[in-house]
Amino acid sequence: MKTYKPTTKSRRNTVTIDYRKVLTASKPLKALTVGSKRSGGRNNTGRITATHNGGGNKRA
């Protein structure tokens, strides 16, 4: 567990898990090795169905 110093109001009660200590397997978890496909607001036919989505930098 990692506790943060109260530098702001939201940090005052923040506690997180230090995943470097928890996840120590020699091989990575298979489900976490492949990035997810991003649709960019398009459905299966390729038409825009959700406006204002898409563009931006590609994230893994």
Q: What is the pLDDT of residues 1-35, one digit of tens each?
A: 888 999 999 899 999 988 877 777 677 778 778 88
For the whole prediction, is pTM greater than 0.75? no
Q: Please report the pLDDT score of residue 29 as a whole number.
A: 78
CB burial class (10 A; 0-12, 13-18, 19+) of residue 56?
exposed
Q: Per-residue pLDDT for 52 more than 70?
A: yes
How confident is residue 57, by pLDDT bands cut at 50, 70 and 90? confident
Secondary structure letter of residue 26 according to DSSP: S
Mean pLDDT computed over 43-52 = 93
